[in-house]
Structure 1
Amino acid sequence: MPKEDCKYWDKCYQRNPAHLSKYNHPEKPVEKEAKEDDAEDRKVAPKRGATSKEQDSNKDKPNTSSSSADMLDEEEAKGSYESETAELHKEAMGNIAGKNYMEILEKRIRLSVQKEYDNLCESNEFIRHKFLVEMPPDFYEFWKFVCSLKSDPAKPKDAGLEHLDKVFQLQLVGPFEFLAERFHGAKLGEPGDYLRHWRFYYDPPEFQTIFVRRGTGIHYGYWRDVPQDKENLLIARTDSAKGCEFQFVAGNAFDAFLYYLEHDFVATPFSAGQLAGTKKAVPRYLSDNSLELAQLERLQRERNKRVVAKTFHRAGIVVPFDRKTQLGYRPLAVSDSELKKMLAMLEQKDVDNVAAKQAVLEKLQPVANAANIAVDESDFGSALELGIDMFSSGHKELHMLASSLLVPAYSMLSRPQFIAIAKAHMEQRRREVNLSMFEVLK
């Protein structure tokens, strides 16, 4: 784009780069200068016929029109100069700062995030913020019981965890580690790291691990059909080494602990005495603190009334369902046995090639389409069931298809926390048994 001619021509006093890059500064044409000089002479020449006295009087009067024009030009030039100087200063500062400025900005952001993290560590809000759920009352009561097992009250808060691990090979993980202050001062992770913390390969979003038998796939956790639920939660047990099925074993953390001691811990002659003493300590603590906790039978009976489909993980799904109008859930387009046959094709040796896998997905697509149509017609449970079955099959090739079902289902059921958990899990789904985020962030 051609530059404009500066109104001051070659007489312009400005020499800043921004001005010079915008305007040309040629010399004035001689004819134009002559005309301007004649005009100036006419301005100051006396009127024809004026007396010498009038001429003398005109000489003494200032040329106000010329003076005003000069003042306006000077003010305009000054304003333009100041504006351009400000722009140059801003550009110069950007060039000088460069990478250093970005480093300072990133450092300030990190400090702000660290401060927010430290503030969260001061309250139980950390659990809701990082794990997207809230813990039931029996969780906190059980933590008090664990702390009472410490022989020395002066020991650090994680001494109770160390005691159970050392004696019973039982790791208290996830939110228990927060109460033990293991997250305090820990290296910050991404949001997904906290959602994947001790989340085993087959754990659906509804399940949150709290107990792990060290070095195995055996783990226990709270089961929530609704993310916001923090009362009367069931506790399920599963072994990821054996598959995706879950079993409800307790109605509170105390009973789950006793179940573990009875079924998953093998005592030795050296630990038999501590085992017997701990089993007696549980009911004694409950009695001393006047605690009456929900029992498995009642909770499971109430939940079974709301289950609309069993699903592959055998725990079933719960969605709002009107039995009169049959609104909320409809059976899938295929039976469970037919669906399992389709999924089994992904396990065959000749399915290593892309074409064979694509053929399986093409068979599953109409089933998924029918489930998504059900969502449009307010039968949200159908997409949830199929999405969970896809996830429980364990085939990573089905993650995209599972997401296309789970996201709208959880969204329409107002369970967005489960969307975040499912996405984070499928992004980095691992079969290992040590699934602590602290190991990942080393």
Structure 2
Amino acid sequence: MNPTDRAAVEDRFERDWGVTLPESIFRFWEFCASPAASSLAELDIVPAGVSHLSADPGAAPRDGIDVRVHGRFYCDPPEFMTFMFSGSDGYHHGLWSDDGRTCGGVASYYTHDGGGIERSAATPLEAVRAVLERHQRDLEDDDPGHSGVVARLSRLAALRDALTGVETGDRPETGYAYSRKYDPSFLPPRVDPARVTTLDGAGALVDGATALGRPPHNRADMSQFAGYVHATFEDAAALEAQVEEALRRCAAGDPAEALVLGRDLHWASGGDPVREAHANRLLTAAYRALDRPALAGIADAHHRHRALSSVHVLA
């Protein structure tokens, strides 16, 4: 990517998404364009979503479709902008933006395999490193003397050498040793008092009161929390009352409940047009009250296009 290309990409995202791209996504794109990137196939990694615009910043969507939904899966929160696919079950990574202006790390989850959103990686290449070491773990559990395993380990080592020359070079651990130190699935959850528990597992950055008195992010028993929230959504009249109360609080100057309930309903819409509509009303109201207009725009665009059969919308 030359400086002219970079300027065009930055302008495109500022104009259409309202987001200032982090330096880390440019390092990821530059790495993907390097000779070492041929080995990313070992990890089933494919640049996707907004990464397509790094190669063609002028690419337009198909007629009638908002470009902001390119790469956006059904359950992706507005804060999530897909940049990479990796493996099966809809595993994908996205830049995460709490304010709709700047990006504060990387999120990932499996669209087709349950589980919540994980937000431990600070940069795209750190996310790549985590995927690499998970593959290393799988090979460590296999027959280490098998010629195919030996060859794959060698290719992973070469990819790791190239990657650590750009980022994560201060992490000499590999495989299980790496995961035990850095992978959140091996570590106790880190409570984040600045975030409020949400059904999607990512937490919401917001101050204010919530109807459930929700605990900080990672302090709830997510199984119990999810069971309770899903049960409350089954009563249509009670849900309508929850939505109206959240909107009333938002109009009175406290958008916290509108944001977290909107995020929960977005995650749990399950194709239900009533839940989809509730989620959109809540999210757009909350984001506007929080001065996050770009996220309100993304939420509205996603709502209009949630029934798309493909996340690829570029012509």
* TM superposition score category, shorter chain reference: 0.7 to 0.9
TM-score relative to the length of structure 2: 0.75
Q: Deviations over 1:117-166 (max 9, x none)?
A: xx99845211222333221111112222333335xxxxxxxxx5xx3564
SS in 2 for 1:210: strand
Q: Aligned equivalents of 1:429 and 1:142: distance in 2?
A: 28
Root mean square deviation, CA, Å = 3.2
Q: Aligned equivalents of 2:61 and 2:72: distance in 1?
A: 18
1:22-421 alignment runs, 5 A limit = 122-149=8-35, 160=37, 163=38, 166-181=41-56, 183-184=57-58, 186=59, 188-189=61-62, 192-213=65-86, 216-230=89-103, 233-243=104-114, 245-263=116-134, 269=149, 270-286=151-167, 304-307=192-195, 309-319=196-206, 321=207, 328-332=208-212, 337-343=227-233, 345=234, 360-395=235-270, 396-397=272-273, 398-421=275-298
Task: Give the aligned partner of residue 74 of structure 1.
Answer: none
- Cα distance, 1:406–1:174 mapped onto 2, change above 3 Å: same
- Cα distance, 1:122–1:383 mapped onto 2, change above 3 Å: closer
* Identical-residue share of aligned pairs (%): 23
CA contact (8 A) 1:200 1:431 kept: no
Q: Aligned equivalents of 1:130 and 1:164: distance in 2?
A: 32
Letter in 2 for 1:206: E
Q: Deviations over 1:223-257 (max 9, x none)?
A: 21111124xx2212200112361012311122111
Task: Give the aligned partner of residue 301 of structure 2.
Answer: 424
- Cα distance, 1:296–1:235 mapped onto 2, change above 3 Å: farther
Unaligned runs of 5+ in 2: 140-147, 170-181, 215-224
TM-score relative to the length of structure 1: 0.55
CA contact (8 A) 1:120 1:126 kept: no
Task: Give the aligned partner of residue 435 of structure 1.
Answer: 311
Q: Aligned equivalents of 1:120 and 1:253: distance in 2?
A: 17
Q: Aligned equivalents of 1:169 and 1:179: distance in 2?
A: 20
- Cα distance, 1:384–1:191 mapped onto 2, change above 3 Å: farther
CA contact (8 A) 2:49 2:72 kept: no
Q: Aligned equivalents of 1:246 and 1:188: distance in 2?
A: 27
Q: Deviations over 1:310-352 (max 9, x none)?
A: 1100111112x3xxxxxx3333499865432133x4xxxxxxx
CA contact (8 A) 1:202 1:243 kept: no
Q: Say which structure is richer in helix.
A: 1
Letter in 2 for 1:135: L
Letter in 2 for 1:258: R
How many angstroms does 1:364 deviate by?
Answer: 0.8
Q: Aligned equivalents of 2:293 and 2:51: distance in 1?
A: 24
CA contact (8 A) 2:199 2:267 kept: yes
CA contact (8 A) 1:207 1:221 kept: yes
CA contact (8 A) 1:384 1:405 kept: yes
- Cα distance, 1:336–1:261 mapped onto 2, change above 3 Å: closer
Q: Aligned equivalents of 1:278 and 1:234: distance in 2?
A: 22
Structure 1 or 2, whichever has the larger Rg, is 1
CA contact (8 A) 1:234 1:296 kept: no
Q: Deviations over 1:79-125 (max 9, x none)?
A: xxxxxxxxxxxxxxxxxxxxxxxxxxxxxxxxxxxxxxxx9984521
Letter in 2 for 1:285: V
Q: Aligned equivalents of 1:123 and 1:213: distance in 2?
A: 23
- Cα distance, 1:246–1:336 mapped onto 2, change above 3 Å: closer
Q: Aligned equivalents of 2:252 and 2:285: distance in 1?
A: 12
Q: Aligned equivalents of 2:69 and 2:245: distance in 1?
A: 31
How many angstroms does 1:365 deviate by?
Answer: 1.1
**Larger mean Cα displacement after TM superposition, 198-207 or 132-141:** 132-141
Letter in 1 for 2:232: M
How many angstroms does 1:428 deviate by?
Answer: 2.3
- Cα distance, 1:337–1:377 mapped onto 2, change above 3 Å: farther
SS in 1 for 2:46: strand
